[in-house]
Amino acid sequence: MQPVIKPSSELRKNYSNIAEICRSHKVPVFLTRNGEGDMVLMDIETYGHREEDLATAERLMSAEMSRFMGTQGYSISEFQENMRQAIKQGANKSG
């Protein structure tokens, strides 16, 4: 389903209807004022997923910029060994 566009006055008149569109279709509802874009509404679950996706994209972009700038990375085996050590240290601290 494509994003829904409604006049902002619709929010006051039919909040429940707009909220149901957001929840059931998982799409943002764009509100307009005087024919111009004004606000975007979305359900909290969709917002949470969007925030997670943006955070992931930011981490990937940061890693790619580091690689581009020549920052030394880790091989897969080095990464795996570092993770094993971190898990072992965490287990020792909690037990």
Q: Is the pTM of this model over 0.75?
A: no
Q: What is the Cα gyration radius of the chain?
A: 22
Q: Where along the chain do its domains lie?
A: 4-42, 46-94
Cα separation, 37 vs 41, whole angstroms: 12
Q: Which amino acid, residue 21? A: I
Q: What is the structure's pLDDT at 95?
A: 58
CA distances 42 to 36, 45, 46, 88, Å, are 19, 8, 7, 42
pLDDT mean for each 10 residues of the chain (95 residues): 88 94 94 95 94 94 88 85 90 72
